[in-house]
Amino acid sequence: RLGDVTLVDQSPLGRSSRSNPATLTKAYDDIRRLFAHSEEARRRRVTPSHFSFNVEGGRCPECLGTGVQEVDMQFMAPVTVTCDLCQGRRFRRDVLAISYAGRDIAETLELTVDAALAAFASERALCRKLRPLAEVGLGYLRLGQPTSTLSGGEAQRLKLAAFLGRPGGDGARLFLFDEPTTGLHLSDVDLLVRTLRRLGARGDSVLVVEHHLDLVARGGWV
């Protein structure tokens, strides 16, 4: 029986600068816990919530965790500038003083997915959440890159990666994909096909609306 039906299309993931690949895949929860378990964090009584730019006490009090400030130009449109207090790094100084593997939390969020997989290779739970991003060809994205900056094709593959990183629920899921090859190189199409087959291998069903002949030719049913 079907447990759920999921449409994976190219609609935007949102315009918020607070949403990023790390938060969508839940990898950020693991990263914050790693930082909070460091000796310096325990000494300063800094908890996982302090490493979030959404929570008071961890985020920069001036820009409220956005990294930028809006300057009113009176008779002109407002101008967005880098926050003077945090210099665009989004966190309080005492939070940025804590490091893990030689990087503070802001530097960690600047890592690409591929670089993060190498940096956190010993953290299996974290890598399990990040690896689907690399498997769908998004290893070049930065962990903290706002989802508002992604193309439609990138947004679609990020949604797919987020599902792959989650444990299976009750019943198989039917995935509906709308033109998933848009903007992809041929090598990326190969990655996509392998990923779609992985969904089928775990018991899910995949229905794809597509005009890319290479992908159509690999379909189980046309």
Check whether 170 has a pLDDT greater than 60: no
pLDDT surpassing 80 at residue 220: yes
pTM for the model stands at 0.81
φ, ψ for residue 221, nearest 5 deg: -150, 130
State both tokens at 99.
């490091």
pLDDT value of position 75 = 72
pLDDT of residue 1: 65
Alpha-carbon span 2 to 91, nearest angstrom: 43
Give percent of the chain with pLDDT exceeding 90: 50
Q: What is the predicted pLDDT for the residue at 169?
A: 56
Angstrom CA distances, 209 to 113, 179, 180, 212, stand at: 28, 6, 8, 10
Strand 68-73 and strand 2-8: the pairing is: unpaired
Q: Is 100 left (phi over 0), alpha (psi -120 to 50) or beta?
A: beta
**What tens digit of pLDDT does each residue of 75-121 get?**
777 788 999 999 999 999 999 999 999 999 999 999 999 999 999 99
Higher-scoring residue by pLDDT: 190, 35 = 35
Q: The tokens of 3 are what?
A: 């447990």
* 208 — pLDDT class (breaks 50, 70, 90): very high
Indicate the average pLDDT of the chain. Answer: 88
Q: Dihedrals φ, ψ of 183, to 5°? A: 80, 5
